[in-house]
Amino acid sequence: MKQFAAGDLTRNTGDLFEAATVAPVAITKHRKPRFVVMSMERFQALTAGRGSQVALDVADMPDELGDLLDQGIEEHFRDR
């Protein structure tokens, strides 16, 4: 990942924006990455569907789904 020092932002703004169109760019402060600049398209792709993910405890899984998961795991490792 390309990096720009925070102190150089005013002098290299054009270079920063140009680099950010290709890939995310780290902004460093005291030589440590602190912020990321990226294109709006990349940001939207990263945040699309946000909020639709749910974390559940395996212990709360219905028995039928747990059995199906166990079967899939067994088949995956058996085929290796």
Instruction: Delimit the domains of the chain by residue range.
Output: 2-78
Rg (CA), the chain: 22
Domain 2-78, CATH among 3.40.1620.10, 3.60.40.10, 3.40.630.40, 3.10.20.310: 3.40.1620.10
Amino acid found at 46: L
Please report, in angstroms and rounded to a whole number, the separation of the first and last CA atoms in the chain: 35
pLDDT of 48 reads 81
- Per the listing, tokens 């390309």 go with 2
What are the 10-residue block averages of pLDDT along the chain, 80 residues in total? 86 91 93 93 83 73 86 84
Strand order of the β-sheet with 25-29 is: 2-5, 25-29, 32-37
